[in-house]
A and B are shown apart, each in its own frame.
Chain A
């Protein structure tokens, strides 16, 4: 085990976040840790702060207090620009709304994060070139070979989701974060999608953190926690 692997993927301690400075209520997390290579399902009802937690983890928003350590790096100590760089380099994010650039070609959408992440770009280059890697991911996720030239706006919801997944996976980021990625799919497709996603996650040994309100997904994960359990003073220990 090398030194890098020794650190946890995520370690939160006493993190406070308020949406606006004067809000009385906000998100408060006592302890939250995720080991490397975990597949963690974070369950919570709508509006419970799941997405906010993911935003905190990825540095999309910054906490008012507490320590936030990702892959051994204190995210709360980083400047805004450095946080953006860190996110680009170490996180693959599958957004609930997929967030593809509708006018862009599918292949460009998939390769876009590499523009901001030199290490991921280098890994994609090593794996056979950025464009080849993008194509490989698209076809590994069950998309037709010629889809790359289409614009994202012409895709079905299911296809958009797979493109968004390919974009999150390209260049093998250490942590993949998914925000309710299956909510737009029916049950049968959910299963297909999760199988494909896990297949790719296994291949790169990435850590997966997925939030959902859907308990039925629990069986696929190595660990399941309720958001309520880590909020405020509640603690979450090592994997069960």
Chain B
């Protein structure tokens, strides 16, 4: 008890070095845990971009390309799927629900998606969460648009605002400026590409292209909005579709049906598999990141060891006094290992606590800025293992100084040198 109390007083006596060491350890704990949190958060966000969907179908292309333009809204489709083929496929008995996607237009850099109200009902993300409306309702009128939350917040739109959709993906493309859309609804945040999309009905996509041929306006032809509302305008083609089946067991069979569809060359991909493949590409960077933070931890462990080693010289006297009073070498070594362990634990506790504090504060910011939702959950198994590794490392860092102290014999004898 007295020995422990004196050991703590010894620590207090060296508070500046001790504090710096704890700081170094807690910073590296924060970094390692933080990287791990961001890593798993990014992976979960990525994998959760689309959930509950069994297949994504589009014109024949690679799985990743299809996924990129249909789910991530990056890049363009090489070809469309005709409406007739789409209807044929989704009318099959295996299909539970289907969301058609028609891409090609944009609004100030955000993609405009032509779809059906099924989009709001069936699209799921992150563990099967449904889309929710932060305000308003799905599109009802031909010229209604539903905004993703990023679109609304970045551009400052509210329900009832009028917006103009541009042709093509760039913000400088020709504009459908004769036909303004009214904001009918704004979706709640999802942290997926849905946030960066504008949603209109498939008919609206057809309507704004009535006066267009081959990507440019037909000169002199302007069809008024009211007349467009009365036109029937069946969709001619869509870009892709997200499909849910009645049974998961049918996925492979249905995928074959789509891939071997005779009327036109189509592809069907399993989004989960394609997402994993894509994450595999990013995985190297992820491992590198973890490697760097592991090195930071090793550095701080070496720092801990160096700190105790260097104070060992200052503490020769202290140790010699303890030894002369009967403390065995093992006791002294134990004190040093105990000290290293204590500092490591303090570093782990402070580091983890600060990380969680930072996470709580920064979580909305990170989610808004990067679309990565870093869950503030208790440490995962991986986190716990990392912390355990740090704990063991810290203890090990105490062994070298402890060994030196053990070897530092009583050669000083009665004359304990200062």
> Nearest Cβ in chain B — how far from A42, in angstroms?
13
Please report the total number of A residues contacting B with Cβ < 8 Å.
Answer: 36
Complex Cα distance, B5 from A55, in Å, reads 28
CB under 8 Å from chain A, chain B span 301-332: 317-318, 320-331
Q: Which of A96, A115, A151 contacts B414 (CB 8 A)?
A: A96
CB under 8 Å from chain A, chain B span 55-98: none
Q: 22 A-B Cβ contacts within 8 A? A: A52-B413, A60-B410, A61-B413, A81-B328, A84-B328, A84-B329, A88-B327, A89-B326, A93-B324, A93-B414, A95-B324, A95-B416, A96-B414, A101-B321, A108-B2, A112-B325, A115-B1, A115-B2, A115-B3, A116-B325, A116-B331, A179-B414
Q: Verify A103–B9 contact, CB threshold 8 A.
A: yes
**A196 on the interface (CB 8 Å rule)?**
no
Complex Cα distance, B1 from A167, in Å, reads 17
Complex Cα distance, B333 from A81, in Å, reads 13
Chain A 179-203, CB-CB to B under 8 Å as 1, else 0, gives 1000000000000000000000000
Q: Verify A108–B413 contact, CB threshold 8 A.
A: no
Supposing A51-B414, A97-B416, A179-B414 touch, asked if A85 and B326 sit within 8 A by C-beta, the answer is yes
Chain A 63-103, CB-CB to B under 8 Å as 1, else 0, gives 00000000000000000110011011100010111011111
Q: Which of B3, B6, B327 contacts A84 (CB 8 A)?
A: B327
Complex Cα distance, B413 from A239, in Å, reads 28
Interface size classification for chain B: 20 to 34
Q: Verify A113–B325 contact, CB threshold 8 A.
A: yes
Complex Cα distance, B1 from A108, in Å, reads 10
**A158 on the interface (CB 8 Å rule)?**
no
Q: Contacts A61-B411, A87-B324 known; list 13 others, CB within 8 Å.
A: A52-B413, A81-B328, A84-B327, A84-B328, A85-B326, A88-B325, A93-B324, A97-B418, A99-B317, A103-B12, A108-B5, A112-B325, A113-B326
CB under 8 Å from chain B, chain A span 104-157: 104-105, 108, 111-117, 151
Q: Verify B13–A103 contact, CB threshold 8 A.
A: yes
Complex Cα distance, B320 from A84, in Å, reads 12
Contacting residues, chain B, for A85 (C-beta < 8 A): 326, 328
Q: Verify A60–B328 contact, CB threshold 8 A.
A: no
Contacting residues, chain A, for B410 (C-beta < 8 A): 55, 60-61
Closest residue to A211 on the B side, CB-wise? B414
> Nearest Cβ in chain A — how far from B317, in angstroms?
8
**B250 on the interface (CB 8 Å rule)?**
no
Complex Cα distance, B342 from A136, in Å, reads 35
**B10 on the interface (CB 8 Å rule)?**
yes
**A224 on the interface (CB 8 Å rule)?**
no
Chain B 335-350, CB-CB to A under 8 Å as 1, else 0, gives 0000000000000000
Q: Verify A51–B413 contact, CB threshold 8 A.
A: yes
Q: Verify A112–B2 contact, CB threshold 8 A.
A: yes
Chain B 160-198, CB-CB to A under 8 Å as 1, else 0, gives 000000000000000000000000000000000000000
**A34 on the interface (CB 8 Å rule)?**
no
**B415 on the interface (CB 8 Å rule)?**
yes
Complex Cα distance, B3 from A103, in Å, reads 13
Contacting residues, chain A, for B331 (C-beta < 8 A): 116
> Nearest Cβ in chain B — how far from A154, in angstroms?
13
Q: Verify A108–B6 contact, CB threshold 8 A.
A: yes
Residues of chain B whose beta carbon lies under 8 Å from any beta carbon of chain A: 1-3, 5-6, 9-10, 12-13, 317-318, 320-331, 410-411, 413-416, 418
CB under 8 Å from chain B, chain A span 26-44: none
Q: Verify B415–A51 contact, CB threshold 8 A.
A: yes
Q: Which of A55, A113, A114, A117 contacts B413 (CB 8 A)?
A: A55
Contacting residues, chain B, for A103 (C-beta < 8 A): 6, 9-10, 12-13
**A54 on the interface (CB 8 Å rule)?**
yes
Complex Cα distance, B12 from A151, in Å, reads 13
Supposing A85-B328, A101-B321, A103-B9 touch, asked if A112 and B3 sit within 8 A by C-beta, the answer is yes
Q: Verify A84–B323 contact, CB threshold 8 A.
A: yes
Contacting residues, chain B, for A97 (C-beta < 8 A): 415-416, 418
Q: Verify A99–B323 contact, CB threshold 8 A.
A: no
Q: Verify B414–A60 contact, CB threshold 8 A.
A: yes
Complex Cα distance, B12 from A180, in Å, reads 32
Q: Verify A104–B327 contact, CB threshold 8 A.
A: no
Supposing A101-B6, A112-B3 touch, asked if A84 and B326 sit within 8 A by C-beta, the answer is yes
Interface-central residue, B325, B328, B329, by most chain A CB under 10 Å: B325
Complex Cα distance, B1 from A14, in Å, reads 41
Q: Verify B326–A55 contact, CB threshold 8 A.
A: no
Q: Verify A116–B413 contact, CB threshold 8 A.
A: no
Interface-central residue, A51, A54, A96, A101, by most chain B CB under 10 Å: A101
Complex Cα distance, B415 from A216, in Å, reads 24
> Nearest Cβ in chain B — how far from A183, in angstroms?
13
Complex Cα distance, B413 from A115, in Å, reads 21
Q: Verify B324–A99 contact, CB threshold 8 A.
A: yes
Contacting residues, chain A, for B6 (C-beta < 8 A): 101, 103-104, 108, 112
Contacting residues, chain B, for A88 (C-beta < 8 A): 325-327
Contacting residues, chain B, for A117 (C-beta < 8 A): 326
The 4 A-B pairs at the shortest CB distance, nearest first, are namely A88-B326, A116-B326, A55-B413, A103-B13
Interface-central residue, B2, B322, B329, by most chain A CB under 10 Å: B2
Interface-central residue, B326, B328, B418, by most chain A CB under 10 Å: B326
> Nearest Cβ in chain B — how far from A136, in angstroms?
17
Q: Verify B329–A81 contact, CB threshold 8 A.
A: yes
Complex Cα distance, B329 from A48, in Å, reads 29
Contacting residues, chain B, for A99 (C-beta < 8 A): 317, 320-321, 324, 416
Complex Cα distance, B331 from A103, in Å, reads 19
Closest residue to A108 on the B side, CB-wise? B2
Contacting residues, chain A, for B318 (C-beta < 8 A): 101
Closest residue to A50 on the B side, CB-wise? B414
> Nearest Cβ in chain B — how far from A84, in angstroms?
5
Contacting residues, chain A, for B328 (C-beta < 8 A): 80-81, 84-85, 116
Contacting residues, chain A, for B1 (C-beta < 8 A): 115
Complex Cα distance, B5 from A111, in Å, reads 12
Closest residue to B14 on the A side, CB-wise? A103
